[in-house]
């Protein structure tokens, strides 16, 4: 009986250690939210990002790869005229999730990404109408998650690059 109890407790302990982090190798997380504080005006951005746990880095954490898509209506004022245009960004990104503390509710990460930014028609600094513009963008960010229940939680990120200085919303564990 003692031997059976010891085996069951060991198996339970080993399984519970494996399930102590929010992000593990092979896990897929989807963030969907809104962002604020943008150089394109006060209209919030809408964003979605997906990441997959790929490279475990020992006891320190795990590296994830994925992508982001974000959209925002922007405003630009020149003299007495105000112009409204849309901005869309899309691109890959990578994050490093720190797992130095064991938690199945909290996740802290930092990352970087790059991609393309597509602007619709707008009026430039000299009052001339520009039909559209495509260019590169880069981003660097730090963020965190709080899982409220199995498969669902909240996220927040701050940084530079993807239309907004901060983003927050929901996280789904797919």
Q: What is the reported pTM?
A: 0.78
Q: What Cα–Cα distance (Å) separates residue 168 from each residue in 55, 71, 90, 108, 119?
A: 25, 14, 18, 14, 23
Q: Report the CATH number that the domain containing residue 98 is assigned in CATH.
A: 2.40.160.20
Q: Residue 11 phi/psi, 5° resolution?
A: -65, -45
Q: How many domains does the chain have?
A: 1
162 contacts 113 by C-beta, under 8 angstroms? yes
Band of the pLDDT at 50, cuts 50, 70, 90?
very high
Three-state SS at 12: helix
Question: What is the extent of the structural domain holding 9?
Answer: 2-173
> What's the mean pLDDT in 3-22?
47
pLDDT digits (tens, 9 = 90+) for 69-117: 999 988 777 666 677 888 999 999 999 999 877 788 899 999 999 999 9
Three-state SS at 101: coil
pLDDT digits (tens, 9 = 90+) for 129-149: 777 889 999 999 999 999 999
> What's the mean pLDDT in 1-22?
47
State the residue for tokens 């940084």: 159
pLDDT at 20: 67
């Amino acid at each position: 009986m003692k031997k059976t109890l010891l085996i069951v407790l060991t198996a339970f302990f080993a399984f519970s250690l494996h399930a102590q982090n929010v992000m593990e190798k092979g896990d897929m997380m989807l963030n969907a939210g809104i962002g604020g504080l943008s150089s394109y005006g006060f209209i919030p951005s809408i964003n979605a990002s997906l990441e997959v746990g790929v490279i475990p880095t020992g006891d320190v954490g795990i590296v994830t790869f994925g992508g982001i898509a974000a959209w925002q209506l922007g405003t630009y004022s020149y003299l007495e005229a105000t112009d409204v245009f849309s901005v869309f960004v899309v691109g890959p990104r990578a994050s490093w999730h720190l797992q130095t503390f064991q938690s199945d509710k909290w996740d802290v990460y930092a990352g970087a990404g790059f991609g393309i930014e597509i602007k619709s028609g707008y009026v430039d600094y000299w009052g001339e109408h520009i039909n559209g513009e495509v260019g590169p963008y880069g981003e660097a960010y730090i963020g965190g998650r709080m899982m409220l229940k199995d498969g669902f939680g909240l996220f927040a990120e701050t940084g530079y690059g993807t239309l907004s200085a901060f983003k927050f919303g929901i996280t789904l564990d797919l």
